[in-house]
Amino acid sequence: MTLEAVDVVIVGGGAAGWSAALAAAQSPASVALFEKLPESGGSSALSGGCLAFAGTDLQAQNGVSDSPEQLFRDLIEVGHHENDPALVQTYCDAQLATYDWLKGAGVRFSPVIETASGQSVPRVHTVDPADMVRMLKAAALATGRVTYQAQEPVAGLMIDESGGVTGVRLEDDKLVSATKAVILASGGFAKNPELIERYAPQYLEAVFVAGAGSQGDGLRMGTELGADLCDMTHIKGTFGKHPTDETNDHSLQAVYKGAIAVNQDGQRFVNESISYKLLGDAVMAQPWHTGYQILDQGIFDTGDDRVRILDFGRRLEEGLFYVGETLEDLARQIEIEADVLVETVRRYNSYVETGQDPEFGRTHLVHTHGQLCKIEAGPFYAYPSTAVVFGTYCGLRIDCDTRVLRPDGSPIKGLFAAGEVTGGFHGAAYMTGSALGKAVVFGRIAGAQAAVS
Ligand SMILES: Cc1cc2nc3c(=O)[nH]c(=O)nc-3n(C[C@H](O)[C@H](O)[C@H](O)COP(=O)(O)OP(=O)(O)OC[C@H]3O[C@@H](n4cnc5c(N)ncnc54)[C@H](O)[C@@H]3O)c2cc1C
């Protein structure tokens, strides 16, 4: 049975899907958005709510000087030059207008306070993530041009004789025609162990936290039509997750305040100031895929309960930290040989004193910020840390208009994609706020482009 045709069909109701729906409706086009779960929101609603924008009024209010050009340089550097510069440029060109557009839809941002992973200046703009999705959804529905169906998984794409996409097939075999385009906004595949085993076997033992719908449906639909994939080898977990914590609570980054990371043998294994995604790779290569962040009282006191990754106090209250009056006492509790841990800390402190870390080249607390400090005055703390996979940062190749591309670079007619289902933007690693940022920036572009296609 074919239901009434609309201009644009959207698969998935996370930040990318609702941004696309609002932008398409504003273009104006008629839109049908299908969400597989009883509630839309996806990983977006669970997320830390950090978005990376540059050159905003909130940065200026806090005396932060930033620009799209600086954001471009940082994104390319964090991505190890393996990201598609055209997509990065598109993000940088569109992000400021998207920030204003989100505010226009009622989204509220907190003041910009901290420098985060991969950022040369503070540019994390924080929202209540579930609220942001609700605002986008409400604004889209208020246009009167969007119909929304929850608990209605899209099972496949309809194509014509030329291979162009003409609509979608729902799970109950109902067909919905799209006169202009279909937008895949179905998120990543962190909840699909088979795909994780294929593309990131090194992370199989990590903790996985993502929306239950993150099963790679859009990836499958796109590749069935010959879409190309990119960045598939760059899936990364985030360092700093307690191994027994499967809540959507974020990781803890005591390392960015001066802690060191040691493995179960009591040895440092990485320059702790690099992106917490690269730290994720490093910890997964350690025995038992785990380690500890080691800090003293002075570092502990610099925690910040306004920032989830720096909220040491709450984690202490939750009993997630080990605490020892001396390093020897701490070592006994975490089953590391005491003299090995003491020697590791002594060596590190000597590097802080000389300003040279011959082992791993650490020069700052995080990225190029913050002066290193010694770990010397008890009590001492250890936070067990493995990696958590929040998302899959790779997927369908798209162009700057978000059209899905084949390996030869030709677009699949009538098919667009945005958000975590796409690859190419992050490259080898990810800057804090750039995944949610990518969902709204490219979701908005996808909606506008699909509506005029
Ligand atoms: C705990 C956590 C914290 C995070 N923190 C941050 C952060 O602070 N900053 C940041 O930049 N990134 C963060 N991320 C990553 C970021 O949230 C995601 O990459 C981004 O929100 C993805 O948005 P999306 O719209 O593409 O996908 P999603 O938000 O996952 O939405 C996809 C939607 O599609 C639906 N769907 C899937 N298949 C189908 C189908 N066949 N038919 C219909 N519907 C379907 C899903 O159910 C889901 O609702 C975090 C992720 C998690 C899990």
| Per-residue pLDDT at 368 | 83
Mean of the per-residue pLDDT values of the chain: 95
pLDDT (average), residues 83-100? 98
pLDDT (average), residues 356-363? 97
Above pLDDT 70, what percent of the chain? Answer: 99
- CB of 392 closer than 6 A to ligand 1? no
| Per-residue pLDDT at 315 | 95
> pLDDT tier at 1 (50, 70, 90 boundaries)?
low
Q: Whole-angstrom Cα distance, residue 402 to residue 407?
A: 15
- CB of 237 closer than 6 A to ligand 1? no
Above pLDDT 90, what percent of the chain? Answer: 89
| Per-residue pLDDT at 118 | 80
- CB of 190 closer than 6 A to ligand 1? no
User: Is the confidence at residue 22, as pLDDT, over 70?
Assistant: yes
Q: Which residue in 172, 167, 170, 152 sits closest to 36, CA to CA?
A: 152
Global pTM? 0.90
Strands 322-324 and 229-230: unpaired
- CB of 435 closer than 6 A to ligand 1? yes
| Per-residue pLDDT at 443 | 98
Q: Which residue in 13, 128, 101, 90 sits closest to 442, CA to CA?
A: 90
Judge contact between 392 and 190, C-beta under 8 A: yes
Structure tokens at 354: 């000389």
Site to probe by mutation for ligand 1, drawn from 127, 186, 209, 247 as the one with most ligand atoms within 8 Å of Cβ, is: 186
Structure tokens at 131: 């609220």
Of all protein residues, whose CA lies closest to atom 48 belonging to ligand 1? 42
User: Is the confidence at residue 2, as pLDDT, over 70?
Assistant: no
Name the least confident of 48-52, 185-189, 345-349, 371-375: 48-52
User: Is the confidence at residue 113, as pLDDT, over 80?
Assistant: no
- CB of 129 closer than 6 A to ligand 1? no
Q: How far is the CA of 340 from the centre of ligand 1 (A)?
A: 42
Q: How far is the CA of 18 from the centre of ligand 1 (A)?
A: 11
Q: For domain 243-389, which architecture applies?
A: Alpha-Beta Complex (3.90)
- CB of 12 closer than 6 A to ligand 1? yes
Q: Quick one: 263 exposed, middle or buried, by C-beta within 10 A (0-12, 13-18, 19+)?
A: buried
385 Cβ neighbours under 8 A, 6+ residues apart: 239, 240, 241, 242, 243, 251, 252, 261, 283, 290, 291, 292, 293
Judge contact between 255 and 385, C-beta under 8 A: no
pLDDT (average), residues 9-23? 98
Question: Rounded to the nearest 5°, which phi and psi values hold at 143?
Answer: -70, -20
Provide the CATH topology of domain 2-234+392-451: FAD/NAD(P)-binding domain (3.50.50)
Q: Quick one: 207 exposed, middle or buried, by C-beta within 10 A (0-12, 13-18, 19+)?
A: buried
Q: Which residue in 20, 398, 342 sits closest to 185, CA to CA?
A: 20
| Per-residue pLDDT at 245 | 84
pLDDT (average), residues 55-78? 95
pLDDT (average), residues 18-43? 97
- CB of 447 closer than 6 A to ligand 1? no
| Better-predicted residue by pLDDT, 437 or 173 | 437
| Per-residue pLDDT at 117 | 74
| Per-residue pLDDT at 307 | 79
| Per-residue pLDDT at 3 | 63
- CB of 154 closer than 6 A to ligand 1? yes
Structure tokens at 415: 């098919």
User: Is the confidence at residue 451, as pLDDT, over 90?
Assistant: yes
Same fold, 2-234+392-451 and 243-389: no
User: Is the confidence at residue 124, as pLDDT, over 60?
Assistant: yes
Q: Whole-angstrom Cα distance, residue 275 to residue 67?
A: 21
Q: Whole-angstrom Cα distance, residue 224 to residue 157?
A: 9
Q: Quick one: 265 exposed, middle or buried, by C-beta within 10 A (0-12, 13-18, 19+)?
A: middle
Q: What is the pLDDT of residues 232-268, one digit of tens each?
A: 999 989 999 999 887 878 899 999 999 999 999 999 9
Question: What is the domain partition of the chain in residue ranges?
Answer: 2-234+392-451, 243-389
H helix runs in 183-239, sequence order: 193-199, 217-224
Q: What is the pLDDT of residues 413-434, one digit of tens each?
A: 999 999 999 999 999 888 889 9
> pLDDT tier at 114 (50, 70, 90 boundaries)?
confident
